[in-house]
Amino acid sequence: MIRTLLAAALLALPASAVAQTPAQIETMRLTVEREQARHEALLERIVNQNSGTLNLSGVRAVGDMIAPELRALGFAVEWIDQSDVGRAGHLVARKKGNGLGKRLLLIGHLDTVFEPGSPFQRYAAKDGRATGPGVGDDKGGIVVIVAALRAMHAAGTLRDADITVFLTGDEERTGAPAARARESLVAAATTADVALEYENMAVDQGVEYGTVARRSSTSWELRTTGVTGHSSGVFGNTLGYGAIYEMARILDAFRRDLPEPNLTYNVGVLAGGTPAAIDDAGVNATGSGKTNIVAETAVARGDLRTLTPEQDDRVRSRMTAIVAQHLPRTAATLTFFDPMPPMAPSDGNRALLATLNNVNRDLGLPEMPEFDPARRGAADSGWVAAIVPTLAGLGVSGGGAHAEGEWIELASIPRQALRNAAFLSRLAREPRPR
Protein backbone atom coordinates (compact mmCIF):
# COMPACT_ATOMS: atom_id res chain seq x y z
CA MET A 1 0.00 0.00 0.00
CA ILE A 2 2.85 2.37 0.84
CA ARG A 3 4.35 1.76 -2.64
CA THR A 4 1.07 2.51 -4.43
CA LEU A 5 0.23 5.62 -2.43
CA LEU A 6 3.73 7.00 -2.72
CA ALA A 7 4.00 6.43 -6.45
CA ALA A 8 0.70 8.19 -7.09
CA ALA A 9 1.64 11.10 -4.85
CA LEU A 10 5.04 11.60 -6.45
CA LEU A 11 3.64 11.58 -9.97
CA ALA A 12 1.26 14.37 -9.01
CA LEU A 13 3.88 16.58 -7.38
CA PRO A 14 6.53 18.80 -8.93
CA ALA A 15 10.03 18.33 -7.52
CA SER A 16 9.83 21.73 -5.83
CA ALA A 17 6.87 20.61 -3.72
CA VAL A 18 8.92 18.28 -1.56
CA ALA A 19 12.13 18.76 0.43
CA GLN A 20 13.67 15.75 -1.30
CA THR A 21 13.59 14.71 -4.93
CA PRO A 22 11.21 11.97 -6.02
CA ALA A 23 14.25 9.78 -6.61
CA GLN A 24 15.41 10.27 -3.01
CA ILE A 25 11.97 9.48 -1.64
CA GLU A 26 11.82 6.37 -3.80
CA THR A 27 15.24 5.30 -2.52
CA MET A 28 14.04 5.74 1.06
CA ARG A 29 10.94 3.70 0.35
CA LEU A 30 12.88 0.90 -1.31
CA THR A 31 15.41 0.86 1.52
CA VAL A 32 12.89 0.49 4.35
CA GLU A 33 10.98 -2.11 2.34
CA ARG A 34 14.12 -4.11 1.52
CA GLU A 35 15.41 -3.95 5.09
CA GLN A 36 12.21 -4.87 6.90
CA ALA A 37 13.47 -8.35 7.78
CA ARG A 38 16.73 -6.83 9.01
CA HIS A 39 14.90 -4.45 11.30
CA GLU A 40 12.57 -7.10 12.63
CA ALA A 41 15.66 -9.18 13.48
CA LEU A 42 17.20 -6.19 15.26
CA LEU A 43 13.98 -5.68 17.20
CA GLU A 44 13.92 -9.35 18.22
CA ARG A 45 17.52 -9.16 19.49
CA ILE A 46 17.01 -6.11 21.65
CA VAL A 47 13.62 -7.25 22.99
CA ASN A 48 15.09 -10.60 24.04
CA GLN A 49 17.76 -8.78 26.04
CA ASN A 50 16.05 -7.86 29.30
CA SER A 51 16.57 -4.19 30.08
CA GLY A 52 14.32 -3.49 33.02
CA THR A 53 15.44 -0.16 34.40
CA LEU A 54 17.10 -1.70 37.43
CA ASN A 55 18.87 -4.37 35.33
CA LEU A 56 21.84 -2.08 34.80
CA SER A 57 23.92 -4.56 32.83
CA GLY A 58 20.93 -5.39 30.63
CA VAL A 59 20.30 -1.73 29.80
CA ARG A 60 23.97 -1.35 28.88
CA ALA A 61 23.78 -4.50 26.74
CA VAL A 62 20.95 -3.04 24.65
CA GLY A 63 22.97 0.13 24.25
CA ASP A 64 25.89 -1.97 23.03
CA MET A 65 23.63 -3.55 20.40
CA ILE A 66 22.47 -0.17 19.07
CA ALA A 67 25.83 1.62 19.15
CA PRO A 68 27.30 -0.13 16.06
CA GLU A 69 24.11 0.60 14.10
CA LEU A 70 24.73 4.31 14.58
CA ARG A 71 28.51 4.21 14.17
CA ALA A 72 28.02 2.57 10.78
CA LEU A 73 26.10 5.70 9.71
CA GLY A 74 28.89 8.08 10.72
CA PHE A 75 27.74 8.94 14.25
CA ALA A 76 30.19 9.45 17.09
CA VAL A 77 28.81 7.32 19.93
CA GLU A 78 29.41 7.62 23.67
CA TRP A 79 28.02 6.10 26.85
CA ILE A 80 27.16 8.56 29.64
CA ASP A 81 27.51 6.70 32.93
CA GLN A 82 24.73 7.29 35.46
CA SER A 83 25.96 5.24 38.41
CA ASP A 84 25.85 8.36 40.60
CA VAL A 85 22.02 8.31 40.35
CA GLY A 86 21.74 4.52 40.59
CA ARG A 87 21.12 3.87 36.91
CA ALA A 88 23.01 2.33 33.98
CA GLY A 89 23.48 5.36 31.73
CA HIS A 90 22.52 6.89 28.41
CA LEU A 91 23.60 6.13 24.84
CA VAL A 92 24.30 9.32 22.88
CA ALA A 93 25.24 9.46 19.18
CA ARG A 94 26.10 12.69 17.40
CA LYS A 95 26.62 13.55 13.75
CA LYS A 96 27.53 17.06 12.73
CA GLY A 97 25.97 18.56 9.63
CA ASN A 98 26.95 21.32 7.25
CA GLY A 99 26.05 24.03 9.77
CA LEU A 100 23.15 25.36 7.70
CA GLY A 101 20.14 23.22 8.57
CA LYS A 102 18.28 22.71 11.82
CA ARG A 103 19.92 20.64 14.54
CA LEU A 104 17.73 17.65 15.40
CA LEU A 105 17.53 15.81 18.74
CA LEU A 106 15.96 12.33 18.55
CA ILE A 107 14.89 10.87 21.92
CA GLY A 108 14.13 7.28 22.90
CA HIS A 109 14.88 4.95 25.80
CA LEU A 110 16.67 1.65 26.26
CA ASP A 111 14.93 0.49 29.45
CA THR A 112 11.55 -1.18 29.98
CA VAL A 113 9.20 -1.74 32.92
CA PHE A 114 9.85 -5.50 32.79
CA GLU A 115 12.59 -6.45 35.26
CA PRO A 116 14.32 -9.89 35.13
CA GLY A 117 11.76 -11.33 37.56
CA SER A 118 8.86 -10.70 35.17
CA PRO A 119 7.45 -13.78 33.41
CA PHE A 120 7.16 -11.70 30.20
CA GLN A 121 10.63 -11.98 28.67
CA ARG A 122 10.59 -13.13 25.03
CA TYR A 123 9.83 -11.78 21.56
CA ALA A 124 7.26 -13.54 19.37
CA ALA A 125 5.82 -12.65 15.96
CA LYS A 126 2.64 -13.96 14.37
CA ASP A 127 0.08 -12.70 11.86
CA GLY A 128 1.69 -9.29 11.43
CA ARG A 129 2.07 -8.60 15.13
CA ALA A 130 5.07 -8.83 17.43
CA THR A 131 4.81 -9.16 21.19
CA GLY A 132 7.50 -8.84 23.81
CA PRO A 133 8.68 -6.75 26.76
CA GLY A 134 9.23 -3.20 25.56
CA VAL A 135 8.52 -4.12 21.94
CA GLY A 136 6.72 -0.81 21.51
CA ASP A 137 7.85 1.13 24.57
CA ASP A 138 10.44 1.83 23.40
CA LYS A 139 12.45 -0.73 21.48
CA GLY A 140 10.22 -0.44 18.43
CA GLY A 141 10.83 3.30 18.51
CA ILE A 142 14.59 2.74 18.56
CA VAL A 143 14.29 0.49 15.51
CA VAL A 144 12.28 3.19 13.71
CA ILE A 145 15.11 5.66 14.39
CA VAL A 146 17.71 3.25 13.00
CA ALA A 147 15.58 2.37 9.96
CA ALA A 148 14.84 6.02 9.16
CA LEU A 149 18.51 7.01 9.42
CA ARG A 150 19.53 4.11 7.19
CA ALA A 151 16.98 5.21 4.60
CA MET A 152 18.30 8.77 4.76
CA HIS A 153 21.85 7.47 4.35
CA ALA A 154 20.86 5.46 1.27
CA ALA A 155 19.14 8.51 -0.24
CA GLY A 156 22.01 10.89 0.55
CA THR A 157 19.97 13.15 2.84
CA LEU A 158 21.83 12.13 6.01
CA ARG A 159 25.18 13.48 4.81
CA ASP A 160 24.57 17.16 5.66
CA ALA A 161 22.10 16.60 8.53
CA ASP A 162 23.00 17.59 12.11
CA ILE A 163 21.44 14.90 14.32
CA THR A 164 21.86 13.78 17.93
CA VAL A 165 20.28 10.49 19.01
CA PHE A 166 19.77 10.39 22.79
CA LEU A 167 18.61 7.06 24.26
CA THR A 168 18.10 7.26 28.01
CA GLY A 169 18.53 4.23 30.25
CA ASP A 170 16.00 5.10 32.94
CA GLU A 171 12.88 6.60 31.39
CA GLU A 172 10.60 4.16 33.19
CA ARG A 173 12.17 4.76 36.64
CA THR A 174 14.23 7.91 36.49
CA GLY A 175 17.30 8.04 38.71
CA ALA A 176 17.36 10.38 41.69
CA PRO A 177 17.74 13.24 41.84
CA ALA A 178 15.87 13.48 38.56
CA ALA A 179 17.44 16.80 37.59
CA ARG A 180 20.86 15.17 37.79
CA ALA A 181 19.68 12.10 35.86
CA ARG A 182 18.43 14.35 33.02
CA GLU A 183 21.21 16.92 33.08
CA SER A 184 22.86 15.64 29.89
CA LEU A 185 19.53 15.39 28.02
CA VAL A 186 18.65 18.96 28.94
CA ALA A 187 22.12 20.08 27.83
CA ALA A 188 21.59 18.36 24.47
CA ALA A 189 18.29 20.22 24.05
CA THR A 190 19.98 23.59 24.53
CA THR A 191 22.07 22.97 21.40
CA ALA A 192 19.13 21.67 19.28
CA ASP A 193 16.51 23.44 17.18
CA VAL A 194 13.99 20.57 17.17
CA ALA A 195 13.34 17.61 19.51
CA LEU A 196 11.51 14.47 18.39
CA GLU A 197 10.48 11.65 20.72
CA TYR A 198 10.01 8.06 19.55
CA GLU A 199 7.61 6.40 21.95
CA ASN A 200 4.51 4.69 20.52
CA MET A 201 2.45 6.58 17.97
CA ALA A 202 -1.04 7.39 19.18
CA VAL A 203 -3.67 5.48 17.15
CA ASP A 204 -7.41 5.44 17.84
CA GLN A 205 -9.92 3.56 15.68
CA GLY A 206 -7.42 3.43 12.84
CA VAL A 207 -6.60 7.15 12.91
CA GLU A 208 -2.93 8.04 13.49
CA TYR A 209 -2.37 11.12 15.66
CA GLY A 210 0.43 13.57 16.31
CA THR A 211 1.44 14.28 19.91
CA VAL A 212 2.07 17.97 20.59
CA ALA A 213 1.60 17.66 24.37
CA ARG A 214 2.04 15.11 27.15
CA ARG A 215 1.25 15.46 30.82
CA SER A 216 3.68 15.42 33.72
CA SER A 217 4.15 12.66 36.27
CA THR A 218 4.92 13.45 39.90
CA SER A 219 4.76 11.07 42.84
CA TRP A 220 3.54 12.26 46.21
CA GLU A 221 3.38 10.84 49.73
CA LEU A 222 0.84 11.82 52.36
CA ARG A 223 1.47 10.95 56.01
CA THR A 224 -1.03 11.58 58.79
CA THR A 225 -0.71 11.13 62.53
CA GLY A 226 -3.12 11.11 65.46
CA VAL A 227 -3.27 10.42 69.17
CA THR A 228 -3.80 6.74 69.81
CA GLY A 229 -5.90 5.30 72.62
CA HIS A 230 -9.09 3.38 73.33
CA SER A 231 -11.72 3.92 70.67
CA SER A 232 -14.29 5.00 73.26
CA GLY A 233 -12.51 8.37 73.28
CA VAL A 234 -12.50 8.95 69.51
CA PHE A 235 -13.76 12.40 68.41
CA GLY A 236 -13.26 13.71 71.94
CA ASN A 237 -10.97 16.45 73.18
CA THR A 238 -8.29 14.03 74.34
CA LEU A 239 -7.91 11.75 71.32
CA GLY A 240 -9.47 13.69 68.49
CA TYR A 241 -10.08 11.91 65.19
CA GLY A 242 -7.00 9.77 64.64
CA ALA A 243 -4.76 9.35 61.61
CA ILE A 244 -7.15 7.42 59.37
CA TYR A 245 -9.96 9.97 59.60
CA GLU A 246 -7.45 12.73 58.81
CA MET A 247 -6.26 10.73 55.81
CA ALA A 248 -9.85 10.20 54.64
CA ARG A 249 -10.63 13.91 55.03
CA ILE A 250 -7.69 14.92 52.88
CA LEU A 251 -8.20 12.37 50.11
CA ASP A 252 -11.91 13.13 49.87
CA ALA A 253 -11.14 16.86 49.68
CA PHE A 254 -8.73 16.13 46.82
CA ARG A 255 -11.54 14.27 45.07
CA ARG A 256 -14.08 17.06 45.55
CA ASP A 257 -12.02 20.23 45.26
CA LEU A 258 -9.22 19.66 42.76
CA PRO A 259 -10.88 18.59 39.46
CA GLU A 260 -10.06 20.61 36.34
CA PRO A 261 -9.32 19.72 32.69
CA ASN A 262 -6.16 17.68 31.99
CA LEU A 263 -5.57 16.95 35.69
CA THR A 264 -5.50 13.58 37.45
CA TYR A 265 -4.32 12.64 40.95
CA ASN A 266 -4.36 8.95 41.69
CA VAL A 267 -3.98 7.21 45.08
CA GLY A 268 -2.06 4.01 44.42
CA VAL A 269 -1.28 2.52 47.84
CA LEU A 270 -2.61 3.23 51.34
CA ALA A 271 -2.24 1.85 54.87
CA GLY A 272 -3.28 2.98 58.33
CA GLY A 273 -3.17 1.69 61.88
CA THR A 274 -0.99 1.54 64.97
CA PRO A 275 1.49 1.49 63.41
CA ALA A 276 1.49 1.88 59.60
CA ALA A 277 4.49 2.12 57.29
CA ILE A 278 5.56 2.08 53.65
CA ASP A 279 8.83 0.90 52.12
CA ASP A 280 11.39 3.23 50.56
CA ALA A 281 10.21 2.39 47.05
CA GLY A 282 6.66 3.44 47.96
CA VAL A 283 5.26 0.12 46.76
CA ASN A 284 4.57 -2.03 49.83
CA ALA A 285 2.50 -0.55 52.67
CA THR A 286 1.65 -2.28 55.94
CA GLY A 287 -0.69 -1.48 58.78
CA SER A 288 -1.84 -3.20 61.94
CA GLY A 289 -4.24 -2.40 64.76
CA LYS A 290 -7.52 -3.29 66.42
CA THR A 291 -11.05 -2.13 65.94
CA ASN A 292 -11.03 -0.57 69.42
CA ILE A 293 -7.79 1.44 68.98
CA VAL A 294 -7.67 4.92 67.42
CA ALA A 295 -5.17 4.85 64.55
CA GLU A 296 -1.83 6.50 65.23
CA THR A 297 -0.44 6.70 61.69
CA ALA A 298 -1.53 6.45 58.07
CA VAL A 299 0.41 6.73 54.82
CA ALA A 300 -0.57 6.96 51.15
CA ARG A 301 1.34 7.24 47.89
CA GLY A 302 -0.05 8.50 44.59
CA ASP A 303 0.74 10.44 41.45
CA LEU A 304 -0.13 13.84 40.01
CA ARG A 305 -0.38 14.54 36.28
CA THR A 306 -0.69 18.04 34.82
CA LEU A 307 -0.43 19.60 31.36
CA THR A 308 1.58 22.75 32.08
CA PRO A 309 4.03 23.96 34.73
CA GLU A 310 1.50 26.62 35.73
CA GLN A 311 -1.18 24.01 36.33
CA ASP A 312 1.30 21.90 38.28
CA ASP A 313 2.20 24.79 40.59
CA ARG A 314 -1.45 25.72 41.12
CA VAL A 315 -2.60 22.21 41.96
CA ARG A 316 0.29 21.55 44.31
CA SER A 317 -0.58 24.73 46.21
CA ARG A 318 -4.22 23.68 46.51
CA MET A 319 -3.24 20.20 47.72
CA THR A 320 -0.92 21.70 50.33
CA ALA A 321 -3.68 24.02 51.55
CA ILE A 322 -6.11 21.13 51.93
CA VAL A 323 -3.57 19.12 53.92
CA ALA A 324 -3.06 22.03 56.32
CA GLN A 325 -6.70 22.06 57.51
CA HIS A 326 -6.24 19.41 60.22
CA LEU A 327 -8.94 17.63 62.14
CA PRO A 328 -8.61 18.01 65.95
CA ARG A 329 -5.51 16.33 67.47
CA THR A 330 -4.13 15.24 64.08
CA ALA A 331 -1.27 16.34 61.85
CA ALA A 332 -0.30 15.69 58.23
CA THR A 333 2.59 16.20 55.83
CA LEU A 334 2.56 16.11 52.02
CA THR A 335 5.79 15.44 50.11
CA PHE A 336 6.29 15.66 46.34
CA PHE A 337 9.07 13.61 44.76
CA ASP A 338 11.22 14.28 41.70
CA PRO A 339 8.81 14.96 38.83
CA MET A 340 8.83 14.23 35.12
CA PRO A 341 7.83 17.64 33.69
CA PRO A 342 4.93 18.13 31.30
CA MET A 343 5.39 18.56 27.58
CA ALA A 344 3.12 21.58 27.37
CA PRO A 345 1.43 22.40 24.04
CA SER A 346 3.03 25.26 22.14
CA ASP A 347 3.01 27.01 18.77
CA GLY A 348 6.41 25.51 18.03
CA ASN A 349 5.15 21.99 18.71
CA ARG A 350 2.14 22.54 16.47
CA ALA A 351 4.37 23.93 13.71
CA LEU A 352 6.31 20.65 13.77
CA LEU A 353 3.07 18.71 13.39
CA ALA A 354 2.14 20.95 10.46
CA THR A 355 5.46 20.10 8.81
CA LEU A 356 4.87 16.40 9.44
CA ASN A 357 1.46 16.70 7.83
CA ASN A 358 3.07 18.31 4.78
CA VAL A 359 5.25 15.19 4.61
CA ASN A 360 2.17 13.00 5.01
CA ARG A 361 0.52 14.74 2.07
CA ASP A 362 3.66 14.28 -0.04
CA LEU A 363 3.69 10.57 0.77
CA GLY A 364 -0.03 10.10 0.19
CA LEU A 365 -0.61 9.35 3.86
CA PRO A 366 -3.52 10.75 5.90
CA GLU A 367 -2.94 13.90 7.92
CA MET A 368 -2.50 13.39 11.64
CA PRO A 369 -4.71 15.43 14.03
CA GLU A 370 -3.58 16.38 17.55
CA PHE A 371 -3.99 13.68 20.18
CA ASP A 372 -5.71 14.45 23.48
CA PRO A 373 -2.84 14.91 25.99
CA ALA A 374 -5.00 13.60 28.84
CA ARG A 375 -4.76 10.19 27.15
CA ARG A 376 -0.95 10.07 27.10
CA GLY A 377 1.46 9.40 29.92
CA ALA A 378 4.63 11.31 30.71
CA ALA A 379 7.89 10.82 28.80
CA ASP A 380 11.40 12.21 28.46
CA SER A 381 10.09 14.76 25.94
CA GLY A 382 8.81 16.71 28.96
CA TRP A 383 12.38 17.51 29.99
CA VAL A 384 13.13 19.34 26.74
CA ALA A 385 9.81 20.81 25.58
CA ALA A 386 10.28 24.04 27.52
CA ILE A 387 13.62 24.54 25.74
CA VAL A 388 12.98 23.57 22.13
CA PRO A 389 9.93 22.82 19.91
CA THR A 390 9.07 19.15 20.43
CA LEU A 391 6.93 16.51 18.75
CA ALA A 392 6.31 13.15 20.41
CA GLY A 393 4.90 9.72 19.60
CA LEU A 394 6.87 9.11 16.39
CA GLY A 395 7.51 5.41 17.04
CA VAL A 396 5.59 2.29 16.07
CA SER A 397 1.88 1.65 16.50
CA GLY A 398 0.68 -1.00 18.92
CA GLY A 399 -0.87 -1.48 22.32
CA GLY A 400 -0.67 -2.98 25.77
CA ALA A 401 2.35 -0.96 26.84
CA HIS A 402 3.59 -1.76 30.38
CA ALA A 403 1.57 -4.98 30.46
CA GLU A 404 2.26 -8.60 29.61
CA GLY A 405 1.31 -9.10 25.99
CA GLU A 406 2.57 -5.68 24.85
CA TRP A 407 2.40 -5.70 21.03
CA ILE A 408 3.14 -3.75 17.88
CA GLU A 409 1.96 -3.81 14.29
CA LEU A 410 5.04 -4.93 12.33
CA ALA A 411 3.91 -3.05 9.21
CA SER A 412 4.23 0.18 11.18
CA ILE A 413 8.03 -0.17 11.19
CA PRO A 414 8.52 0.57 7.46
CA ARG A 415 5.61 3.03 7.44
CA GLN A 416 7.09 5.02 10.32
CA ALA A 417 10.63 4.66 9.00
CA LEU A 418 9.66 6.19 5.65
CA ARG A 419 7.56 8.91 7.27
CA ASN A 420 10.41 9.82 9.62
CA ALA A 421 13.13 9.63 6.97
CA ALA A 422 11.25 12.17 4.86
CA PHE A 423 10.37 14.28 7.93
CA LEU A 424 13.93 14.37 9.26
CA SER A 425 15.31 15.11 5.80
CA ARG A 426 12.97 18.05 5.45
CA LEU A 427 13.70 19.46 8.92
CA ALA A 428 17.45 19.04 8.42
CA ARG A 429 17.26 21.24 5.32
CA GLU A 430 15.25 24.00 6.96
CA PRO A 431 17.42 27.00 7.89
CA ARG A 432 18.30 27.34 11.55
CA PRO A 433 16.45 30.09 13.47
CA ARG A 434 18.48 33.25 13.96
Mark whether 194 and 294 lie in a shared domain.
Answer: no
- The CATH number covering residue 325 comes to 3.30.70.360
Say yes or no: 208 and 352 in one domain.
Answer: yes
Does residue 332 share a domain with residue 354?
no
Residue 5 inside a domain? The answer is no
Whether 3 is in a domain gets the answer no
Residues in the chain, overall count: 434
Distance CA 42, CA 396 (A): 14
Taking CA atoms, 283 is separated from 296, 300, 301, in Å, by 21, 10, 8
Q: CATH number of the domain that 191 lies in?
A: 3.40.630.10
Q: Does any domain span residue 144?
A: yes
Residue 410's region, left for phi above 0, alpha for psi from -120 to 50, else beta, is: alpha
Domain match, 231 and 377 both: no
- DSSP three-state, residue 339: coil
Report the domain count for the chain.
2
Report the pLDDT value the prediction gives residue 17, as an integer from 0 to 100: 37
Q: 227 with 243, same domain? A: yes
What pLDDT, on the 0 to 100 scale, is given for residue 283? Answer: 85
Same structural domain for residues 158 and 77? yes
* Listed residues 336, 358, 390: the one ending a domain: 336
* Domain end point (choices 336, 369, 385): 336
- In which domain, by residue range, is 330 found? 218-336
> Is 36 in the same domain as 127?
yes
Give 282's contacts (C-beta < 8 A, 6+ positions apart): 219, 221, 269, 301
Asked if residue 81 belongs to a domain, the reply is: yes
Within a domain: 21 = yes
pLDDT, tens digit, 9 for 90 and up, residues 155-196: 999 999 999 999 999 999 999 999 999 999 999 999 999 999
Helices and strands counted in the chain (H then E): 11, 18
Together in a domain, 265 and 364: no
Whether 58 maps to a domain, the answer reads: yes
Supply the pLDDT for residue 19.
64
Q: Are residues 351 and 410 in the same domain?
A: yes
Q: Which pTM value belongs to this model?
A: 0.90
pLDDT at 8: 43
Low-confidence ranges of the chain (pLDDT < 70): 1-19
209 and 269 belong to one structural domain? no
Boundary-marking domain end, from 312, 336, 360: 336
Is residue 1 one of the residues assigned to a domain? no
Same structural domain, 209 and 275: no
Round to whole Å and give the CA distance between 129 and 296: 52
One domain, residues 203 and 228: no
